[in-house]
Amino acid sequence: MPKKKRQCDEAQLKWFEEALERIKKATGARTQVQLAEVLDVRQSSISDAKRRCSIPAEWFLKLYRSHGLDPDWLSDGVEPVYLNESKAKIPADTLLRESPAPYGRMNSRGRVLPVSTMAGSRKENPTWEPNPIEELSVPESFCRPKLQVVKVDSASMEPVIARGAFVGIDCAQKEHPDGDLCAVHFPHQGLTIRRVFMQGDSFVLKAENDKHSDLTIPAAEMEDRTVGRVVWVLQNVSPL
């Protein structure tokens, strides 16, 4: 009898798809044809790899040689992105924003980061500066070059973000797509985290909690007062 082909389970397929997506993002390959050209393989080789849920080791070696990419990042999202940045085609910050960040893998490493209050070091400062009060271990794939972790002391975003939650803020991201969660500085008050929407010449910062009023900031001030965009939240889930 012919030997039965091994089937991928759900976890293996998810790993393969995430790793392949990182490869596509880092090389700019949008189609299987373009990816085959970058890897210098036949298209059928990519189909075979997907069927096996396995990426050949020589692909990682080729991508290191051609693009300076770290095989650990390609495989598991473990930073750094590049081992040789001189060959980088796309900035690492861009790739970290756009590529999937796996969580909970058995071989995932952690990193201990300082956690600041939302008030910051001095409330009267025109710009927000962190005031570390404790430390938190997070998966390394959650880390960014300009990441700031704060502990939420407000109920304005409940139930989406509970009081006491830890929030990761990417300070390299200052854009304001409608509906995104952003951390914005209010002098003499500290940070507030709200969903941001542009309306005319102003930005409206909307709360999830009906007991808290929405806030408005002139568009001309928004860039200077934006600390960054929220990229992850760690919090306890209340039992149903």
pLDDT tens for each residue of 181-199: 999 999 888 899 999 999 8
Alpha carbon of residue 37 to chain centroid: 28
Q: Which residues are 232's β-sheet partners?
A: 168
Query: Is-contact 118 171, C-beta < 8 A?
Result: no
User: In the prediction, which pLDDT does 13 show?
Assistant: 86
Query: Is-contact 174 228, C-beta < 8 A?
Result: yes
**Topology annotation, domain 110-234:** Umud Fragment, subunit A (2.10.109)
pTM higher than 0.75: no
Q: Which residues are 168's β-sheet partners?
A: 149, 232
**pLDDT > 60? residue 107:** no
**pLDDT > 60? residue 105:** no
| Mean pLDDT of all residues in 62-71 | 93
Distance, in Å, from the CA atom of 117 to the CA atom of 124, rounded to the nearest integer, reads 15
Distance, in Å, from the CA atom of 67 to the CA atom of 92, rounded to the nearest integer, reads 12
| Mean pLDDT of all residues in 39-44 | 92
**pLDDT > 90? residue 41:** yes
C-beta atoms surrounding 115 within 10 Å? 19
> Which is more confidently placed, 6 or 67?
67
User: In the prediction, which pLDDT does 62 show?
Assistant: 93
Secondary structure string (H, E, C) spanning the chain: CCCCCCCCCHHHHHHHHHHHHHHHHHHCCCCHHHHHHHHCCCHHHHHHHHHHCCCCHHHHHHHHHHHCECHHHHHHCCCCCECCHHHCCCCHHHHHHHCCCCCCCCCCCEEEEEEEECCCCCCCCCCCCCCEEEEEEEEHHHCCCCEEEEECCCCCCCCCCCCCCEEEEECCCCCCCCCCEEEEEECCCEEEEEEEEEECCEEEEECCCCCCCCEEEEHHHHHHHEEEEEEEEECCCCCC
| Mean pLDDT of all residues in 72-78 | 86
Confidence of residue 100 (pLDDT cuts 50, 70, 90): low
**Topology annotation, domain 10-98:** 434 Repressor (Amino-terminal Domain) (1.10.260)
Give pLDDT tens digits for 116-157: 999 988 767 778 899 899 998 888 778 888 899 999 998 999
**pLDDT > 50? residue 1:** no
User: In the prediction, which pLDDT does 102 show?
Assistant: 58
**pLDDT > 90? residue 106:** no
> Which is more confidently placed, 155 or 175?
155
Residue extents of the structural domains in the chain: 10-98, 110-234
* Cα within 13 Å of Cα(107), Cβ side: 7
Distance, in Å, from the CA atom of 183 to the CA atom of 232, rounded to the nearest integer, reads 12
User: In the prediction, which pLDDT does 239 show?
Assistant: 47
Smallest CA-to-CA distance from 28 within 100, 101, 91 is with 91
144 contact partners, CB below 8 Å, separation of at least 6? 93, 96, 168, 170, 172, 231
Percent of the residues in the chain that have a pLDDT greater than 90, as a whole number: 45
**pLDDT > 60? residue 201:** yes
User: In the prediction, which pLDDT does 92 show?
Assistant: 85
Taking all residues of the chain, what is their mean pLDDT, rounded to a whole number? Answer: 85
